[in-house]
């Protein structure tokens, strides 16, 4: 299966083609030659759930692309399964999907999968991705009752837990978010030991774009409207920097099967495009930086200008980088693109 490496998330064109095994071998060899001692142990074949840590000064994002994943607005689940599996293999360096999942999570983890209900009906991709994710996790040995799904529609035959009723209560104590104020988190965070963040990629009238960071900052607190001042900056970054999120976030799987590239996050059909993309990474800032590049890529094809002038990044990405949440700078992000 062809893969390619693109060093700059704003330049997503393929520049190299090789086999997966050769690709991983080149990655490890290149890191050794560059003197990167912090190569993720997943790529070196280690077997610890906490091993996937980006080397100092570098984050990795895997971008999967499949032109056949959506036809006539129908998500083809077989292709989506293969796409997710390939992304996990490249991210972790494991050939077996079960080994990839177990390198990121422990069987005892209670995993909160945080989707985004805003415009989900119009985009129409959440049920398929949720189903494939749950199938992959359970087939890899994770008990359905230890999976908590937030903001995802039902689908026929689903057996996993959803955050409803008691799970939708709020924590008792407020958390201070730097200069932005304070609020309480969803009580489900008390139960969860790990988070899989599953956002869309959309433009946003205040924050320029919404992706990994905003899906957590404004999706896990009780009063999100209080944190819209200044284009949601620095609130997005400060909330994501809180230990309640930061210590539990293990993986971001960005749903770019269909994206909203104009008009805010309302998802008017005329502003929806279908790149057929998933982004996988452990760094939410890096994933958002790549997602922002995808939005501008789609806009360029549609004859629209970039969302911000002079190649500027949305403010929340810059603030999140300053707070140490992750890397926004393209020079500190390695994007590995695989086309299926």
* Mean pLDDT (whole number) for 110-120: 96
Token couple for 53: 């840590």
Q: Is 205 in contact with 118 (CB distance < 8 Å)?
A: no
Residue 57 in any domain: the answer is no
Q: Are strands 175-176 and 182-183 parallel, antiparallel or unpaired?
A: antiparallel
Q: Closest Cα partner for 252 from 263, 240, 235?
A: 240
CA separation for the pair 297, 302 (Å, rounded) = 9
Query: Cβ neighbours of residue 152 under 8 Å, at least 6 residues apart?
Result: 113, 115, 117, 120, 126, 127, 130, 162
Residue 119 in any domain: the answer is yes
Number of domains in the chain: 1
CA separation for the pair 115, 255 (Å, rounded) = 9
234 preceded by cis ω (within 30°)? yes
- What integer pLDDT is reported at residue 55 of this predicted model? 52
* Mean pLDDT (whole number) for 128-144: 97
pLDDT tens-digit profile of 70-107?
A: 988 899 999 999 999 999 999 999 999 999 999 999 99
Sign of the dihedral through C-alpha 330, 337, 113, 111? negative
Which residue segment(s) compose the domain that 258 sits in?
A: 68-328
Helix (H, G, I), strand (E, B) or coil at 337: strand
Q: Tokens 């390619």 map to which residue?
A: 4
- What integer pLDDT is reported at residue 153 of this predicted model? 72
Residue 110 in any domain: the answer is yes
- In this prediction, residue 46 has a pLDDT band, given cuts at 50, 70 and 90, of very low
Phi, psi of 125 (to 5 degrees): -115, -10
* Mean pLDDT (whole number) for 115-142: 96
Residue 63 in any domain: the answer is no
CA separation for the pair 204, 292 (Å, rounded) = 11
Q: DSSP string spanning 132-161?
A: HHHHHHHHTT--GGGEEEES----TT--SE
β-pair partners for 62: 280, 336
Residue 333 in any domain: the answer is no
Q: Is 250 in contact with 325 (CB distance < 8 Å)?
A: no
CB atoms within 10 A of CB 227: 22
Supply the CATH number for residue 312's domain.
3.40.50.11440
Question: To the nearest whole number, what is the mean pLDDT of the chain?
Answer: 84
Residue 41 in any domain: the answer is no
Residue 53 in any domain: the answer is no
Is 0.75 surpassed by the pTM of this model?
yes
Residue 29 in any domain: the answer is no
Query: Cβ neighbours of residue 84 under 8 Å, at least 6 residues apart?
Result: 64, 132, 133, 136, 253, 278
Q: Which residue has the higher pLDDT, 16 or 128?
A: 128
């Amino acid at each position: 299966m062809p893969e390619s490496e693109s060093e700059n998330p704003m330049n997503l064109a393929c520049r190299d083609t090789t086999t997966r095994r050769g690709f991983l071998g080149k990655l490890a060899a290149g890191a050794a030659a560059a003197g990167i001692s912090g190569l993720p142990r997943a790529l070196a074949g280690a077997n610890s759930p906490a091993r996937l840590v980006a080397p100092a000064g570098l984050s990795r994002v895997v971008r999967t692309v499949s032109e056949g994943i959506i036809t006539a607005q129908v998500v083809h689940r077989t292709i989506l399964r293969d796409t997710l599996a390939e992304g996990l293999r490249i991210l972790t360096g494991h050939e077996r999907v079960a080994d990839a999942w177990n390198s990121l999570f422990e069987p005892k983890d209670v995993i909160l999968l945080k989707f985004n209900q805003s415009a989900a009906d119009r985009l129409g991709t959440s049920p398929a991705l949720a189903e494939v994710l749950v199938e992959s996790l359970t087939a890899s040995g994770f008990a359905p009752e230890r999976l908590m799904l937030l903001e995802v529609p039902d689908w026929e035959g689903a057996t996993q837990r959803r955050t409803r009723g008691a799970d939708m209560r709020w924590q008792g104590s407020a958390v201070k978010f730097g200069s932005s104020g304070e609020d309480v988190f969803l009580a489900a965070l008390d139960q969860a030991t790990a988070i899989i963040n599953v956002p869309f990629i959309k433009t946003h009238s205040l924050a320029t774009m919404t992706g990994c960071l905003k899906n957590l900052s404004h999706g896990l607190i009780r009063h999100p409207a209080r944190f819209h001042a200044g284009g949601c900056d620095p609130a997005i970054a400060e909330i994501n920097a809180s230990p309640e999120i930061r210590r539990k976030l293990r993986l971001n799987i960005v749903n770019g099967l269909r994206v909203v590239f104009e008009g805010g996050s309302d998802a008017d059909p005329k502003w929806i495009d279908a790149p057929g993309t998933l982004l996988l990474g452990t760094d939410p800032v890096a994933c958002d930086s790549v997602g922002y590049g995808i939005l501008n890529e789609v806009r360029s094809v549609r004859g629209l200008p970039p969302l911000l002038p002079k190649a500027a990044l949305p403010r929340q990405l810059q603030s999140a980088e300053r707070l140490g949440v992750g890397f926004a700078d393209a020079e500190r992000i390695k994007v590995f693109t695989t086309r299926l």
